[in-house]
Amino acid sequence: MAEVILDKAGKTYPGGVRAVEGFDLDIADGEFVVLVGPSGCGKSTTLRMIAGLEEITEGTISIGGRVVNDVHARDRDIAMVFQNYALYPHMTVERNLSFGLERRRNHRSRLRSLFSTTHRRARRAETESIAARVRDSARMLGITDLLDRLPRALSGGQRQRVALGRALVRAPQVFLFDEPLSNLDAKLRVEMRTELRVLHSRLNATMVYVTHDQEEAMTLGDRLVVMDQGVVQQIDAPTRIYSNPVNRFVAGFVGTPAMNFVEGTLDASGRLNALEGSITLDPQRFGGHVGPVVLGVRPGALRPCEPGRGWGFRLEAIEHLGDRVDLVLDRGGRQWISRVEWSPDFVEGDTLHFEPRVGEGVHLFEASESGRTLAST
Ligand code: ADP
């Protein structure tokens, strides 16, 4: 296993698309890091740069202490798992698992073994070791019963397990995953997520995983790297990204339902004029930021209150989630979501009052384009 370091790494594609710029990241040995961001933000390019499938045009990348800028993909000792499983259709699961290792062995030893008994013996030992690795990986992934089947006789989830197994048997220094679960149905995706976490903790392997799905990122990663337009926005543990986003982009990208935002003007006493009304925020925590601001409220922090306080909203719809409900609210044509415990007082079409509950996910951002965070509670 190995650490991976990106130092001001970047990629400009021929034709001038600057897909990734100034990417700095130290991935510790055995860490599970998830690159997450909207489509086109440069996640796959970054992963492919680590894999050696994409040449980098700025900075350096090191794996296990060695700069690999000029090292060919096959010599980087990494294994990559893709969204499309890319299994060999005419080979059994067992052969799919062993094929890569056998090819490497044959490459090295075929000629030598023709002339030497020692090499013939070594070759036999290697064949046995490949078989053992295939058996171990199959057991770890629960696909031992499928070893004789062809890929067409497998379900999507089973195929993705075989694709994982192919990476596993190689025991690489680093595992790279490019949206490996996107082709699976929702239930299976959630199951496979858990399996990947378990696999990671058993192997203690360095893993870099790409997804556009922030929920998947939150559940999988030791740390997340949130990207936008080729630039890293924030690198931190999932809970810290959620509760202390560095800017409005990160705040809006992470969390479902998404954070509610509103532009307003704040005065020194904590009064925020917004949504054709005003509310009072704790001046201790928010009062230092006088002038135009953006308020961000997590749905769970928007709570019902007495009519004399908060803002009045029309209750447009109630979405039941089992133990709680999402209330779809409207004020002046702007939609807000409140996630609360259900109450018989909620009647669609009624006007209800809500206020942000400071300390439970209320944030203040600059009203600028960067939307830097001013306060998080
Ligand atoms: P993501 O994985 O986050 O969806 P990508 O890394 O695939 O993003 O792409 C980042 C940017 O680089 C996008 O603007 C995309 O159009 C561009 N891009 C990706 N591959 C190429 C390529 N081979 N040639 C030119 N531009 C590319």
> Rounded mean pLDDT of 180-202?
89
The response to whether residue 39 sits with its C-beta less than 6 Å from ligand 1 reads yes
The response to whether residue 233 sits with its C-beta less than 6 Å from ligand 1 reads no
112 located within any domain: yes
Residues 195 and 329 in one domain: no
**pLDDT tens profile 123-162:** 888 888 899 999 999 998 889 999 999 999 999 889 999 9
The model's confidence at residue 112, banded by pLDDT at 50, 70 and 90, is low
51 located within any domain: yes
Residue 350 clears pLDDT 70, i.e. is over it: yes
pLDDT at residue number 16: 93
pLDDT at residue number 111: 60
- Of all residues in the chain, the percent with pLDDT exceeding 90 is 75
**pLDDT tens profile 327-343:** 999 998 999 999 999 99
249 located within any domain: no
The pTM of the full predicted model, rounded to 2 decimals, is 0.91
> Rounded mean pLDDT of 307-318?
94
Number of domains in the chain: 2
pLDDT at residue number 212: 95
CATH number of the domain encompassing residue 153 = 3.40.50.300
Residues 95 and 190 in one domain: yes
Domain that includes residue 180, residue range: 4-243
Residues 228 and 315 in one domain: no
CA 18 / ligand 1 centre spacing (Å): 9
The model's confidence at residue 109, banded by pLDDT at 50, 70 and 90, is low
3-state secondary structure the chain: CCCEEEEEEEEECCCCCEEEEEEEEEECCCCEEEEECCCCCCHHHHHHHHHCCCCCCEEEEEECCEECCCCCHHHCCEEEECCCCCCCCCCCHHHHHHHHHHHHHHHHHHHHHHHCHHHHHHHHHHHHHHHHHHHHHHHHHCCHHHCCCCHHHCCHHHHHHHHHHHHHCCCCCEEEEECCCCCCCHHHHHHHHHHHHHHHHHHCCEEEEEECCHHHHHHHCCEEEEEECCEEEEEECHHHHHHCCCEHHHHHHCCCCCCEEEEEEECCCCEEEECCEEEECCHHHHCCCCEEEEEEECHHHEEECCCCCCEEEEEEEEEECCCCEEEEEEECCEEEEEEECCCCCCCCCCEEEEEECCCCCEEEEECCCCCEEEEEC
pLDDT at residue number 108: 63
CA 42 / ligand 1 centre spacing (Å): 6
